[in-house]
Chains A and B, each alone.
Chain A
Amino acid sequence: MNPAIRTSGLGKRYGETVALDGLDLEIRPGEVYGYLGPNGAGKTTTIRLLLGLHRPSAGRAELFGVDAWGDPVRAHRNVAYVAGEPFLWPSLTAGETLELLSRLRASDDERSSASDIAYRERLVQRFELDVRKKVRALSKGNRQKVQLIAALATRAELLLLDEPTSGLDPLMEMVFRECVNEAKDRGQTVFLSSHILSEVEALCDRVGILRDGRLIEQGTLAELRHLSAQTVEVTFAGQAPAPPPLPGITVVATAPNTLRFQVPGELTPLIDALQGHHVLTLRSREPSLEEIFLHHYDGAHDRAGR
């Protein structure tokens, strides 16, 4: 079976800017993939290339085995897209927009069935959208809901979501999460670009982190945790000893008798170094997602500052 998304060596330059560089992704059908990265990392660029809206400068992208740039119409039959910002037709009402988007999706032989329409109605109720309002009179969050409902109501096998919850209030954010989980239960694939870590943590099977157009980390959340440093706090009887020099491990003194170590990988070097010292307690903690991401994002700032 073809992967839902496959890119090989996918790259995009805009003049001087390298927005995306040598991206290799493979996302299985049914997977929920979180796509993270600081502003300007290239998330939106990736999605535009996946949709064939922009032309790759290098490599190629396939959706279910169909070339995204070469045959966009066929590629899009199985895809629903939610843009980071809702660009809709101001003079249509929300309801008309939903109707339009669903009709443009259905080919002539597969008109939306009664059950599709019923599901859409349910989504409209859950998202508390007033479908009689014209788009120009909707707030940004409400316009975002129009896009979301249109995408979630489809039976598209792949949902491409670019920061879909920007502008949604916390209540609606919860509804969104429920809907993504339902989509997952139906076997739909979800590609979720996001800044909201808790959202990614709650929804995604696998996460990729993008920085400066390069995929710098990828894996399940458990794997990412494993890769990142864990924090070890050691309390000594009496004054803490002078921190031992250990390659790759950083140390801070948090109290006169306490040292905090950031240890990437194995703990063995630290345990060895502690030998012969009078250790009272030793507490180790896995990194939170925030710490993982801040670690990677910070790198981006360093580079930008240079």
Chain B
Amino acid sequence: MRILTVAFAYVFAIYSYIQPSGYRAAYPTRSDRLAFAHSFATNQGLRLLYGRPHDVSTVTGYAAWRVGGVLALAAALYGLLGAVRLTRGEEDSGRFELLLAGTVARRTLTFAALAAIATGTAILWVAELAGLIVAGLPLGGSAYLALATTSVVPVCAAIAAFAAQLAPTRRVALEFAGSTIAVLFLLRVLADTVDSLGWLRWATPLGWAEQLRPFAHPQPLVLLLPGAATALLVALGSRIADRRDIGTGVLPARDTAPPRPRLLHSATGLAVRGQQGVLIAWSGSVAVFAFILGTVAKSISPADISGSVHNEIEKLGSGSITNPTGYLAFVFLFLVFAVSVFACTQIGAARQEELDQRLETLLALPVGRGRWLAGRIALAVLAAAGLSLIAGPLAWAGASAGGAHISLARMIGAGANALPTAILFTGIAALAYAVAPRASSAITYTLLTVSFLWQLVGSLIAAPRWVLDLTPFAHVALVPTQPFRALAAGIMITIGVVSALAATRILKRRDLVGP
């Protein structure tokens, strides 16, 4: 929990600092900003990611839009992960992989858990506030914006805690809570992109965060909504917990099952079985999001964009995002990131086997360490390849449905373009795991996040080329706008493979570690 909070606080502070600063640098004059407000902010595709803007012709308005929108999502994720970890009542430290297995302790959301969430919320609030103030935004408005963003945490934590009471296992709890929050996000997306559905914003905590309208026309009374929702969910959750204690399980676990010996012939088969649910969930999410991103690809006409603004947008690294191809090239950079994150969670799941000591059970059998890790790496890469290949065609289908014409082959290429980076990070994650099993998750995810933000921020503030070149993401071609960069991809794959090989060797040379 502590590591989780620190990681999120870090992201909150950095992100809320760089967005306003980057904006100021990219659009120095009032006229630039007005032009930007007219074109960029009405882009449906961006609305989808960042939410509905209220006023982007000022630094504060822009900050409210860009910072609030994305960080509200991060806040939702934090609430979800934090609450499930706390209600599960286990002292496991900072494991992102808690997504991956285990049982929910049957106990109510205690005072301690509530206090921990409250503290975490406060810390994120301070982090975001600090970032905004350092970026030069006024104190009062910044405090209010940070409040709007972090108001999402308690609600989502309460949703997750509630799900933890219903669900028999931690994984099911995460699935429940995760899909609920995904639906809440989709509601916000619909509200922000379809004009007639604007009222849906009132149905989701992510929408409430927008309705608070930081810097535009503040409506602080909206804060009552997250407050009331949280109280209601916590009360309901405790009621259910009490009832469960006297033996009326709400959704009893399926504790018995007919034997299904499928896949149980090898360690890797076992891993596939353990990861099935996760693989399906990721594939489904990638498919849905790729499709949605495709449908909104045709939302901007080039006529809206003046020449100078166009140039500034190109600085963001996306080329022109005013045509569907450019827009998809831009958002697929996020896919590259997501697929890499996914591959790293697979290595994280392997690491969890060791920390939970199940790996001892395996390795006491005639199972080699190197082969075991190689199998897990192969699984990570194959699954990442699967995700990459799903995304392209689905985005193409979405774009076609939305009336944009892009070649299917190019979109398949755009998806496949995510794979070299994923292989690189899989190798790095495996190496970190082999060398430092306990610290490796923190190392891997920090490296990944920093690399990605480096690219986004660096290109926005027009950092020197050699600075930008430090991150692998700078070498990812924005397919389909740009041609695939075979050389860069080859280098990334080579580094990934070499790291992975080194990992299998290093793992053979150390003690297994415990929890």
Instruction: State which residues 475-504 of B face A: CB under 8 Å.
Output: none
B366 beta carbon closer than 8 Å to chain A: yes
Complex contact B511–A105 (CB within 8 A) = no
Name A's interface SS: mixed
> How many angstroms between the C-alpha atoms of A105 and B365 in the bound complex?
6
B113 beta carbon closer than 8 Å to chain A: no
Q: Which residues of A contact B511 (CB under 8 A)?
A: 53-55
> How many angstroms between the C-alpha atoms of A48 and B364 in the bound complex?
9
A46 beta carbon closer than 8 Å to chain B: no
> How many angstroms between the C-alpha atoms of A96 and B254 in the bound complex?
15
B307 beta carbon closer than 8 Å to chain A: no
Instruction: State which residues 102-130 of A face B: CB under 8 Å.
Output: 103-105, 107, 130
Q: Which residues of A contact B257 (CB under 8 A)?
A: 93, 132, 134
Q: Which residues of A contact B103 (CB under 8 A)?
A: 90, 136
- Among the 9-residue stretches A73-81, A226-234, A251-259, the one with 4 or more Cβ atoms under 8 Å from chain B is A73-81
Number of A-B contacts (CB under 8 A): 103
Least CB distance from B273 to A in Å reads 8
Least CB distance from B316 to A in Å reads 44
| A79-B102 contact, Cβ under 8 Å, with A87-B357, A88-B358 | no
Instruction: State which residues 435-453 of B face A: CB under 8 Å.
Output: none
A237 beta carbon closer than 8 Å to chain B: no
| A103-B510 contact, Cβ under 8 Å, with A89-B358, A90-B101 | no
1/0 per residue, CB under 8 A from B, across A62-92: the answer is 0000000000111011010101010111111
Q: Which residues of B contact A101 (CB under 8 A)?
A: 361, 365
Among A51, A74, A87, A131, the residue within 8 A (CB) of B358 is A87
A295 beta carbon closer than 8 Å to chain B: no
Of chain A, the residue at the smallest CB distance from B254 is A134
Name B's interface SS: loop
1/0 per residue, CB under 8 A from A, across B355-377: the answer is 01110111111111100000000
Complex contact B274–A91 (CB within 8 A) = yes
Interface size grouping (class) on chain A: 35 or more
Q: Which residues of A contact B369 (CB under 8 A)?
A: 72
> How many angstroms between the C-alpha atoms of A95 and B356 in the bound complex?
21
B247 beta carbon closer than 8 Å to chain A: no
Number of interface residues of B (CB under 8 A): 37
B267 beta carbon closer than 8 Å to chain A: yes
> How many angstroms between the C-alpha atoms of A130 and B364 in the bound complex?
25
A137 beta carbon closer than 8 Å to chain B: yes
B260 beta carbon closer than 8 Å to chain A: yes
Least CB distance from B167 to A in Å reads 13
Complex contact B261–A99 (CB within 8 A) = yes
Which of B257, B260, B270, B512: most chain A CB closer than 10 A? B257
Q: Which residues of A contact B254 (CB under 8 A)?
A: 134
Q: Which residues of A contact B256 (CB under 8 A)?
A: 93, 130, 132-134, 137
| A99-B259 contact, Cβ under 8 Å, with A83-B360, A87-B356, A136-B169 | yes
> How many angstroms between the C-alpha atoms of A101 and B512 in the bound complex?
20
> How many angstroms between the C-alpha atoms of A54 and B369 in the bound complex?
12
B265 beta carbon closer than 8 Å to chain A: yes
B409 beta carbon closer than 8 Å to chain A: no
Q: Which residues of B contact A74 (CB under 8 A)?
A: 366
> How many angstroms between the C-alpha atoms of A74 and B258 in the bound complex?
34
Complex contact B259–A93 (CB within 8 A) = yes
B31 beta carbon closer than 8 Å to chain A: no
Q: Which residues of A contact B259 (CB under 8 A)?
A: 93, 95-96, 99, 131-132
Q: Which residues of A contact B366 (CB under 8 A)?
A: 73-74, 76-77, 104-105, 107
> How many angstroms between the C-alpha atoms of A162 and B361 in the bound complex?
13
> How many angstroms between the C-alpha atoms of A147 and B103 in the bound complex?
20
| A100-B264 contact, Cβ under 8 Å, with A95-B259, A132-B256, A133-B256 | yes
Least CB distance from A43 to B in Å reads 15
> How many angstroms between the C-alpha atoms of A85 and B361 in the bound complex?
10
Among B101, B273, B361, B368, the residue within 8 A (CB) of A83 is B361
Q: Which residues of A contact B265 (CB under 8 A)?
A: 103-104
Of chain A, the residue at the smallest CB distance from B101 is A90
Complex contact A53–B360 (CB within 8 A) = yes
Q: Which residues of B contact A51 (CB under 8 A)?
A: 363-364
Of chain B, the residue at the smallest CB distance from A51 is B364
A55-B511, A136-B103 are known; give 17 further A-B pairs, CB within 8 A: A55-B509, A55-B510, A72-B363, A73-B367, A74-B366, A76-B367, A77-B366, A83-B361, A89-B270, A91-B274, A93-B257, A99-B261, A103-B266, A104-B366, A132-B256, A133-B255, A136-B255
8 interchain residue pairs of minimum CB distance = A137-B255, A81-B364, A54-B511, A87-B357, A100-B264, A76-B366, A132-B256, A104-B365
9 contacting pairs across A/B (C-beta < 8 A): A72-B368, A73-B367, A76-B365, A81-B364, A87-B357, A96-B261, A105-B366, A134-B256, A137-B256
